[in-house]
Chain A
Amino acid sequence: RKEVEQDPGPFNVPEGATVAFNCTYSNSASQSFFWYRQDCRKEPKLLMSVYSSGNEDGRFTAQLNRASQYISLLIRDSKLSDSATYLCVVTARGNAGNNRKLIWGLGTSLAVNP
């Protein structure tokens, strides 16, 4: 089983639609969770951190369920500019001292159509 698994995608939705991405992780000791966005041929950019209480930033809502080892990202009223790949990221203890490393999912591609 992969350490971080995401919906395979791609998702094709019309403008204004609501779309949800899911991500599961295998390491119950994982402590921090993030969603990054990556545009084609560009570097990943932090979209939002994911907190246990859930958090919202405008049209974006992230949820964490530690019991099920599951995080989600909801995009409401999707825009053409939301078209990108969305990457789920989980921290895990590294193999040196107290460092942590980020484990990345493969990403889910979203295309918002006019």
Chain B
Amino acid sequence: ETGVTQSPTHLIKTRGQQVTLRCSSQSGHNTVSWYQQALGQGPQFIFQYYREEENGRGNFPPRFSGLQFPNYSSELNVNALELDDSALYLCASSSTGQGETQYFGPGTRLLVL
């Protein structure tokens, strides 16, 4: 196991609602990246947090936002949910001392109805 945990494991929401997903990084890791993986697709980079600051963002609208806390855990918030937001949301932690090797949590499977 990677030591990266995510909660909840599954979630069902309706269009227009808001959701918060949580991630605890591996001990000693100061960087968290979030990905969206739709069925049959590779993971798409949403953003990365390094020492509590956003450190890069993919092509996702502003209604996708995040936070990183002093203990390096992180949240992903999505406002005004759309049907296309249904996906597996993956959190990956890494340490700047280890290059780009990322270790993934089990993911949160979100279904928007």
Interface assignment of A68: CB less than 8 Å from any CB of chain B? no
Interface assignment of B106: CB less than 8 Å from any CB of chain A? yes
A101 contacts B42, C-beta separation under 8 Å? no
Nearest B residue to A88 via CB reads B42
Classify chain B's interface size.
20 to 34
Secondary structure at chain A's binding surface: helix, strand, loop or mixed?
strand
Interface assignment of A49: CB less than 8 Å from any CB of chain B? yes
A101 CA / B58 CA spacing, docked (Å): 9
A45 contacts B56, C-beta separation under 8 Å? no
Q: How many residues of A contact B (CB 8 A)?
A: 24
Inside 8 A of B41's CB, which chain A residues have their CB? 106
Q: Identify the stretch in A12-20, A53-61, A75-83, A89-97 within 8 Å (CB) of chain B at 4 or more residues.
A: A89-97
B99 contacts A106, C-beta separation under 8 Å? no
A42 contacts B106, C-beta separation under 8 Å? yes
A44 contacts B48, C-beta separation under 8 Å? no
Which residues of B (27-43) have their CB < 8 Å from a CB of A? 33, 35, 40-43
Return the contact of B33 from the options A87, A97, A102 (Cβ within 8 A): A102
B57 contacts A95, C-beta separation under 8 Å? yes
Nearest B residue to A104 via CB reads B42
Interface assignment of B102: CB less than 8 Å from any CB of chain A? yes
Interface assignment of A34: CB less than 8 Å from any CB of chain B? yes
A79 CA / B107 CA spacing, docked (Å): 27
A94 contacts B55, C-beta separation under 8 Å? yes
B27 to chain A, nearest CB (A): 17
A15 CA / B16 CA spacing, docked (Å): 48
A107 CA / B99 CA spacing, docked (Å): 22
Inside 8 A of B50's CB, which chain A residues have their CB? 99
A97 CA / B101 CA spacing, docked (Å): 19
A45 contacts B104, C-beta separation under 8 Å? yes
Return the contact of A43 from the options B40, B48, B90 (Cβ within 8 A): B90
Q: Which residues of A contact B (CB under 8 A)?
A: 4, 32, 34, 42-46, 49, 87, 91, 94-97, 99-107
Given pairs A43-B104, A101-B58, A102-B102, 10 additional interface contacts (CB within 8 A): A32-B100, A45-B2, A46-B102, A96-B56, A96-B57, A97-B56, A104-B35, A104-B44, A104-B45, A106-B41
